[in-house]
Each structure stands twice: as C-alpha cells, then as structure tokens.
Structure 1
C-alpha cells in the first residue's frame, strides 16, 4: 500500500468539482462527485433522531437502488429542522443534479452542512450545480466546497495491488465542530475503483466506521447531518471482493487507513484546537469496552482543558475511566502520558513534572495510554484539546 498525491477523483472513472454559489460569503460552497458508471455504494448516518432533510432523501435513494453515480453537496446551510419544505428542497436538489448529469434521481445522494433551521437558497443551489463540471483537474475544488468552520482540507489517496490490478482509493472529509460521532457534523466521502458488491461494502463500512469515525470527538455534540458514503465503481477490474477472497484483507486495510486518516484529521482540526489527543486503551476484556473507555477519556472536558493548559492531572483521566461504563478492576489501572508513566496499577508513580509539562506544551499530538490489566483487547479514540477559541467560534457561529 502506498500513499500518493491525489484527489477524490483519482480512482478510475471518477470526477469532482466545486463552485462558489453564494451560500457563503466567499468560499466555495457547492460540489459534486460523479462516477461514469454505476458504483456499488454504502452509507452510514448520524444516530441523532433529528435527521436533516438530505439524509432522509439519501436514505430513500438507497431504498430504491444499492448503486450510486453521484453525490451532490452544499455547505453554508444544513437544511435541517426545515419541515416539509426542507424535504422538497433536498429532493429538488437531487433531481436537478440528476438531470444535469443524465442519471436517475435514485442514483444521486444529497448532503448538506452548515447552519441548522435555515432554508436552502434554491436559486443559488441550481445556479451552482449548473456550473459544476466533469473535467479533470477540478476535484480539489470539491474538497473546499464542503468545508464550514474547518481550517484546512482533509484528503488522502492510496493505492494497492489486488488481483494484479492497481486499485486506487481516495477520501475527503469535513468536520471541525459539533463532533461526537455516532457520528458528528461530519461528512466523509470515499471513492474507489475496486470491485465489490454493495452488500459486502456496507458490512465493511459499518464495522470500520465504528472503529474510526465513531471514535472521534471534539465537543460532545452529535449533529443532524453526519454522513459517510463510499462508492466503488469496479473499473480497476479486480475479481469481486468477498470475505473469502485471498486479498480481501488488503482492501479492508485500505479502507481502514483512509477512514482513520480522515477521522484523525477531523479531530485535530477541532474548532479552536491546538493539539490532537490520541487515547489508547489496552488490557480490556472486550474491544467494545476498550473503545468505550478510550472515547470517554478523550471526551472529558476536564481532560481536554488540562491538555490545553499543559496540566498533567491524571486524576481527570482515571475519573473518566471510572464513569465510562466499561469493565475494569479499579486497583489495576496503569496510565502513561507520552513517555511518562504516571500511574502503575492505580498507584502514583514518581515522574518528572517539569518533563511532562514540557511534553504537553511542545507536542502537537498528545498520547494517553491506559492499561486495564484485565484482558487482551485494545481500542483507540481521538479528540482535541478545548481552548478559549472554541468558545469564541461557537458563541458567534451565526454572526
């Protein structure tokens, strides 16, 4: 497997573009991804019971067809909590894009992100879609068009040989605030030219989303619009990937690498963030417990603010373990922060306070490790520190 310079349109047969339609003041705010042939598709959505109109329209499209040829996305407005008009607008957006591309409505997924409770400006939406193109070299504009409070684009492209064919996979994502998946104000799109059925792809996507995107947090809020969509159009011409395929694990590893890269990029770009926090839990009785405990640690506002302030307050970490709901033995917990072990089987260690303070203040990625000493399972979670700027950004989000 190798990482290459690419875009969401790097896999064979894919195109993408983004334009400024006026939904936001300056930045590009509408885009699409298109496959020249029908692609197997899989999707996972937010668990928030308030689900935006585009999610409902996209879910309906998946009920009618298990393939996609396009995804159309706008930023600037979430089209959430907009009632029957919101559903009509999302459907119109889907229909208009389908007409422009010459495909069936059910072959187009719709996604929106931005302010909740505001109606789409359909005149701007249709004008923007009508100007989107299918020329190579424009795909990086799509990466910008999906952003809201993000400070940077999030993208990765990788390649692997499967059945003697070069398989390419590319992913893009947006997400900065209201991030606490199952899932978050997060959109992630993955394209690949691998051959795999929609059913097999859906099983794999759901499993890997649980282990990656659902293990990140910025602020504990779960959004109304979160969506992960994967399209596989088969143009690499490998044999169809099923679990019994001798190189199925290669494809699974590719998808995991893309998901994890995008998940960490979202966590590190949290609103106002200055540091990425990675929490590793080992010695758990189940992988679910390990992931649950890791996420509780990285979700703790007290842990996040301590990391921002460079304060090695391990009491906040063990407290989060205590209310995590995971299984552990209270007297057997060991904790390390970076290269410093600060707790050994629930007893404080002697360590350099000055050295740890320097580590917390000078590193961009803080690693916290908790060993429960009760099993063999492991889990990871990612988040960011909680800074003064997070409050500033969200206090003035609509203004």
Structure 2
C-alpha cells in the first residue's frame, strides 16, 4: 500500500547528501561526449549497509564487487558510479577493472578498500576505458565537483531528468534524515531492472535490520514498476545508515520502528515512481491498484500483469478506454479469482462492473486518459488482498530511442 506523506517533512531541494555526514558529487571524465558520467557518495564514517540486486542471471562485474564489499563487514563508506558503459559481459578483464576502479576510488577517498562500492550503467559488452576513469577519480577531491545535483546527473543514461528526494522525521527526539537518488528510464521491469537506487540516512540501525527492511520495501516499490518488460544486468539499490542522528538503535521493538519503516518506504516509492514517470518516450505515469484479491501476493501478480501489458500501455498512450485489454491481462495473470466479481475503473469512471461492460462516457474517458497521471483500479471481490504497481505508456518515441541506442 502506498505510503502517504504525513509523519515526515519533505525537504525543499532535499537530496542524497541531506543526511548528516554525507557528501556527493559528479564530474565528466570522458565516457560520454559532454555530459557528466562519474558520480560518488561519501560518508564521514563507515555506514551500515544493505543492498538488493538484479535477478538477471548475467550479473555485471560491479555488482559482484559491491556484494563482496558489503559481505565483508556489512558496511560501506563510499560509492562510485559511472554511466555510459555497463561493464557487463566483459569477462575476467571487466571484473579486474571493477576491482581496480574500487581500489583507485578507495585510495582517493582515504577509506579501506572493502568499504567502497562500485556501480556502472550503460552499454553492455564494452570494457571501461580505465585511463579516463583513473583521471576522473583523481579529480574527485576538487571542491568544484561536489554537489548532490551533480551526482544525480552523472548517473543518468537515457533519463530525461534527475531523480532525488530527502525527508526528515523525528525519532527519540532527534531529527533523522533519509535521502535518495536514482536513475532508470528503459529496460525497467519488476524484480529489478536497468536502474540504480541509492539511499542514505543518518539513522542508527544495524545492517541486518536495514537489510530486512530494504528487501521488504523493495518488493513494494522498485519491484512494482515496469516500463518495457526487460530486466537488465547491472541493477541494484544500496542503503547506507551512518548513525549520525544519534537516535537509539532502531529495531522492530523500538516504539518508533514503524515510523522509520514508513519513511524509508516513502523515499523508495517516490524514486520508483519517478523512474516509471521518466520511462523512455513516456508521456504518462500509470498507477495500477488492485483490491479484493485473495492474498496480497495474488494482488501483486495481477497488478504486475496489468502494468506490464504492452496492449494496455499502448491503449493508454492512444487515450483509448479499451478495458478489454485490462480484463485480458487480469485473466492471464495465473491468479485465482471470480470473473463475475471483477470491476474496473479508469480514475473514477466505472467501465466494467461484475465482469460485464458498464455504460460510460467515451469522451470523458478519453479526456481522463490524456492526463499526465492515470489510475487503473481493479476490484476483484470482497477479499483483503491488495497491491499497487506503477508504469507508463508505450509510445512511438520509445521505439525511436531504442532502435538507435548504440548509434
């Protein structure tokens, strides 16, 4: 269920460096023609760390190196990210390059090597130009490259805009901040995709609890978005908690545990929706709500089935209230339901009631489907299972972008 902004304060111009003790930046090192292509995040002290990773069998070299870093002590202090080249499917040389990238970065930032994480995004199958990366990493300490907006820009590929957020909440009388940044536009599909997400907080929480929370929240946020049905090789979400807020250690028994959980979920949901909104060629953000399923798991599967349907997505792009495509996606989800209890709404417009067409104003429906944000609600019956997924329409521009991605 989507978290509402009630117990938290949304920070104006908040970003991944808003939490105490964090810094971020970005620069151009030559991997891209002109745009920034190398970004980093740094914590003044080692932070408790947790990560989730792509389900694609082909995991890129940076993921392997980062997982190894976290596994050593469940801590990280710095993250280096390059765009333009994914360093995926690059064999032993690519893996060595990822290790060398980590080593160079750790030395530059003055941290132990295992406290550095590496991430890459971009074209698959090309080796990193290590001479350019080495030169770029050496420039990181220059103050002119510092700034969270520069980090947000440096990690982008086909994205059209930066994606960042920060919120504040009070725990144990202390102000706790949670900030984040993400990239992602194409090759987006549930169970991780061509996206990178980074979240920082000054909360005091152990890596084990942080990992549990991240995995749970990922299933309600980053794993509930789709753009085009493709899942990539490089993708991860990392969360760092450096304890600078000096609250009492957060555990499930802490009286304000749920507040922290909800706050972290809000940040992840926001970033996930921004990725869906910025889908390649997208003109609309689409939210699918499923209610009345037999279980939350069943509702999740049905929501994903609807949001992943190319026929639904193209109908949205054409502002065509073709509810038959939604019914079809529900039907092939593989989940148990009673077709005679299914009702479908486009916004507030009822188009199907108890499995049969409901008369509606086609012009009003078309006008609604031309709005920037669209909600599809599927009510399946009287049970309690529910879920929400996010995606976008599928446009001619998506084809244009991906037909010439390498050229």
In 2: Cα distance, 1:49 partner to 1:14 partner? 33
Q: Which runs of 5+ in 2 are unaligned?
A: 1-7
Q: Residue 214 of structure 2 corresponds to which residue in structure 1?
A: 205
Structure 1 segment 99-248 matched on structure 2, within 5 A = 99-133=107-141, 135=143, 138-248=147-257
CA spacing shift, 1:102–1:367, aligned 2, 3 Å:
same
CA shift digits 1:129-150 (9 cap, x unpaired) = 1111375962210000000000
Pick one of 316, 330, 343 that aligns with 2:352.
343
Shift, 1:211, TM fit: 0.7
Question: TM-score scaled to structure 2, two decimals?
Answer: 0.97
Number of equivalenced pairs: 398
Shift, 1:62, TM fit: 1.7
CA shift digits 1:171-227 (9 cap, x unpaired) = 100000000031010000000000000000000000000011000000000000010
Look up the SS of the partner of 1:142 in the other structure.
helix
2:253 is the alignment partner of 1:269: no
Look up the SS of the partner of 1:335 in the other structure.
strand
In 1: Cα distance, 2:337 partner to 2:274 partner? 30
Q: Residue 331 of structure 1 corresponds to which residue in structure 2?
A: 340
Look up the SS of the partner of 1:76 in the other structure.
coil
Contact 2:190 2:304 in 1 (8 A): no
Q: Residue 262 of structure 2 corresponds to which residue in structure 1?
A: 253
Look up the SS of the partner of 1:315 in the other structure.
helix
Shift, 1:374, TM fit: 4.3
Q: Residue 48 of structure 1 corresponds to which residue in structure 2?
A: 56
In 2: Cα distance, 1:130 partner to 1:288 partner? 48
In 1: Cα distance, 2:71 partner to 2:11 partner? 35
In 1: Cα distance, 2:398 partner to 2:16 partner? 30
In 2: Cα distance, 1:134 partner to 1:331 partner? 65
Look up the SS of the partner of 1:15 in the other structure.
strand
Look up the SS of the partner of 2:121 in the other structure.
strand
Q: Residue 5 of structure 2 corresponds to which residue in structure 1?
A: none
2:23 is the alignment partner of 1:4: no
Pick one of 281, 296, 321 that aligns with 2:290.
281
Contact 2:345 2:351 in 1 (8 A): yes
2:395 is the alignment partner of 1:396: no
Shift, 1:80, TM fit: 0.2
Look up the SS of the partner of 2:158 in the other structure.
coil
In 2: Cα distance, 1:218 partner to 1:141 partner? 25
In 2: Cα distance, 1:21 partner to 1:327 partner? 53
Look up the SS of the partner of 1:351 in the other structure.
coil
Contact 2:87 2:120 in 1 (8 A): yes
Higher mean Cα deviation, 388-397 or 285-294? 285-294
In 2: Cα distance, 1:385 partner to 1:141 partner? 29
In 1: Cα distance, 2:143 partner to 2:267 partner? 24
Look up the SS of the partner of 2:299 in the other structure.
helix
Contact 2:203 2:243 in 1 (8 A): yes
Taking only aligned residues, the RMSD between alpha carbons, in angstroms, comes to 1.0
Contact 1:16 1:133 in 2 (8 A): no
Q: Which runs of 5+ in 1 are unaligned?
A: none
In 2: Cα distance, 1:241 partner to 1:194 partner? 8
In 2: Cα distance, 1:40 partner to 1:307 partner? 42
Q: Residue 292 of structure 1 corresponds to which residue in structure 2?
A: 301
Look up the SS of the partner of 1:10 in the other structure.
coil
Pick one of 315, 324, 344 that aligns with 1:315.
324
In 2: Cα distance, 1:171 partner to 1:55 partner? 19
In 1: Cα distance, 2:166 partner to 2:334 partner? 37
Q: Deviation above 4 Å: which 4+ runs of structure 1? A: 134-137
Question: TM-score scaled to structure 1, two decimals?
Answer: 0.98
Look up the SS of the partner of 1:280 in the other structure.
strand
In 2: Cα distance, 1:68 partner to 1:327 partner? 44
